[in-house]
Structure 1
């Protein structure tokens, strides 16, 4: 589960945060991680108490048409995440080979790697978890090396982490803060985590054992997210210390003096330095030596490879749950990886690296839009006594969870609006307006069902609809019992 907080999309958000705002947005990263942990807790409790993951519960509780639409939205989020992993791995291979492996070649190589993970999966879940532990350790060591090399100001780091204020920040920093939340909290991770808890043996006939399982799963998740948070802090701090406030011309001059073959990637102007995963490795190599570049690339490769299986497993659970359709993992990977690689490969072949790395912004927007389709259902179902029995959300968690989800969704929708308004084509505005109406209507439908589950009083004109919806949501009560 912690892998999803360390994918290439997260790493790119971290380095851009450090380069644009220094240490000033670390408190946003900390807050987003804490909110992510609380949302993962809901997913944990749903899986432990019901013995079903979120997609299975959605299949049983929602009508057919909304369920299919919900499945399509989650699949879009998974494919978008998979594309980010492909892009990150391709860039890492390009850096490690000093450009000998072209970006399109790196994209093709990532087709093969996932099937290698599936082969490892045959040896058992614990061995696969151990292998992921090795990859996380590689990320911790590589990004930790960059952190030690950069020697960031610890006082400024602590101030940025615990002082919720951004002095002198403008629209660019505000957009970056929104991007951090969107990169950290991802919809498919909620579905994944609710399914992963089923790999542990829990006696659901014993209330004490269910309570104990919830406690230890929460502790496990806290440790995992603490490690991922530290790695994210390493990346932010490195770029905050070394590159905050620098211009493209200053960094280009340093790269030319160091003899870097990639100095042409840094434009010669007085604009503030803007970096992505590729240019991030290049500028690290210019400032701290070639070793820093290769160590950075190893960390990015570990992030891309490990997060590959996040999409694979979540896609498998989502398809099985929503459609009650059981494919082999081989077939599932072949489908989703083909959908993810095709557009990425076309951009890698016919466009330059700027377009490839720029796709991450669009993919972050795509995943931000899918967030309500994970957060609203998980709050709805964990608040239903008919499903959760004594473990249903209490008033504090209902209100708090509702406010947190409203805040996160609002932040992400702001991110979407900023991205769309930056587009210049009129037909895109028209298309975006139409899709927004459909999108908001469906989100409103899910929110209505959530309010019913939360026990919110509705106007008299809604009473009949409320009763019908309550019957719909709780139609499996007798079977559950």
Structure 2
């Protein structure tokens, strides 16, 4: 689960945040990670309490049309994440080889290594998890060394964490940051992974204990991710924000070059190792998520290698095309990565709102596991913030594109797409809260109806006594 918070898409967003905004958005990094923790808690609770993951519930709760839309959105998010993993690993291979391996070749190499990682699963899940742990530790050490060598000012970091600011020019970067941290495919993944643990039984007390330990595990994982993301933001903010001679644009593709010019070749190697670990560790998460999503929505089971072949082919085609077109001379892969972060942010409500619907339903979760009023308010606030940030980001992106604003046809098309998007979100909101309100009203009516016979039995003797006490008519 924690790998999704430190994958190449996150690193791209981190260095963009640091190089373009300095330390200004560190508070948003912390806030988004906390929101992500709340979402992961809900995802784990759904899997433990019901014994089913999010995709399975969506198949059961939604009609055919919204179910297919949600499935397509989930697949788009997974493929987008896989493209980022391929791009990040390819850039790392190119850096470690000193440029002798071109980017397009690195993309092809990365496309094949997922099958190697599948072999680790045959030795047991623990071996696979241990390999993930080693890669995350490798990232922490690598980026920690970068942070230490760069001598990032502590006062500026603390100010960025403690003083919330969001200049209008930084809105697209903020939207991409949110999209890179709270990823839709990770919500599906976590609700399924918790079921691989057979340590808890079917009793409510054991489930509550399991949820507690999963929450602790999530908290520790996300705490480590905060430090890794902070290291990257801090290094690029200190080295490249508002500096004379800094590149006009910087991304994963040319970050190694400028790190070498600023801090020496040693930093290039450290950066490449951390980037490679991020790309490789996130490879299997996409494969697992794809299996769960396809199995849950379509009730279709396919072999892991077939799933890897499908997703990797879809991911490699645009990555190879961009890599060959720019041939390492531009920032084409980085622009692709940034666009995918925005895409992840736009896709997020399609996983988040169904999760809120399910965890707020007493019929699905049961009396002991359904969201409390406080939890419902907190999760609803997260959903509202995500949708609001997305809307703001889309508005800024459209308004700043002259080619769109100068064409009535394009403006009309964008307006139609936005309206369809918002209407479908409103439909999901209605399902999430309309059903909950109906269920609450129905329970109140049932209780009131059940209480009526008892009230009649109490009132009838009193009425008889009152009638007997009346004076007789003459």
| Alignment TM-score, normalising by the size of structure 1 | 0.87
Pair 1:367-2:367 in alignment: no
Decide whether the 8 Å contact of 1:192 with 1:314 is kept in 2.
yes
Distance, in Å, in 2 between the alignment partners of 1:409 and 1:60 is 25
Which consecutive segments of 4 or more residues in structure 1 shift more than 6 A? Answer: 456-459
Residues paired across the two proteins, number: 435
Decide whether the 8 Å contact of 2:4 with 2:282 is kept in 1.
yes
Pair 1:318-2:293 in alignment: yes
Decide whether the 8 Å contact of 1:398 with 1:454 is kept in 2.
no
Q: Shift of residue 458 of structure 1?
A: 12
In the other structure, the counterpart of 2:174 is 177
In the other structure, the counterpart of 1:468 is none
Distance, in Å, in 2 between the alignment partners of 1:216 and 1:228 is 18
Q: Shift of residue 441 of structure 1?
A: 2.2
Distance, in Å, in 1 between the alignment partners of 2:278 and 2:398 is 29
Pair 1:402-2:374 in alignment: no
Match of 2:390 among 386, 390, 412: 412
Distance, in Å, in 1 between the alignment partners of 2:399 and 2:93 is 34
Decide whether the 8 Å contact of 2:179 with 2:343 is kept in 1.
no
Decide whether the 8 Å contact of 1:368 with 1:416 is kept in 2.
no
Distance, in Å, in 1 between the alignment partners of 2:283 and 2:211 is 27
Secondary structure of the structure 2 residue equivalent to 1:391: coil
Q: Deviations over 1:401-441 (max 9, x none)?
A: 11211111211232233333344153544433332232222
Distance, in Å, in 2 between the alignment partners of 1:367 and 1:451 is 24
Matches within 5 A, 1:238-253: 238-247=235-244, 250-251=245-246
Distance, in Å, in 1 between the alignment partners of 2:282 and 2:59 is 26
Pair 1:435-2:413 in alignment: no
In the other structure, the counterpart of 2:203 is 206
**Residue range with higher mean Cα deviation, 151-160 or 310-319:** 151-160
In the other structure, the counterpart of 1:194 is 191
In the other structure, the counterpart of 2:109 is 109
Q: Shift of residue 13 of structure 1?
A: 1.1
Distance, in Å, in 1 between the alignment partners of 2:250 and 2:186 is 27
Structure with bigger gyration radius: 2
Query: Can you give the 5+ residue segments of structure 2 that lack an aligned partner in the other structure?
Result: 443-474
Decide whether the 8 Å contact of 1:365 with 1:419 is kept in 2.
no
Secondary structure of the structure 2 residue equivalent to 1:34: helix
Distance, in Å, in 2 between the alignment partners of 1:78 and 1:189 is 9
| Alignment TM-score, normalising by the size of structure 2 | 0.88
Secondary structure of the structure 2 residue equivalent to 1:455: helix
Distance, in Å, in 2 between the alignment partners of 1:229 and 1:42 is 20
Distance, in Å, in 2 between the alignment partners of 1:343 and 1:238 is 30
Q: Shift of residue 29 of structure 1?
A: 0.3
Decide whether the 8 Å contact of 1:383 with 1:453 is kept in 2.
no
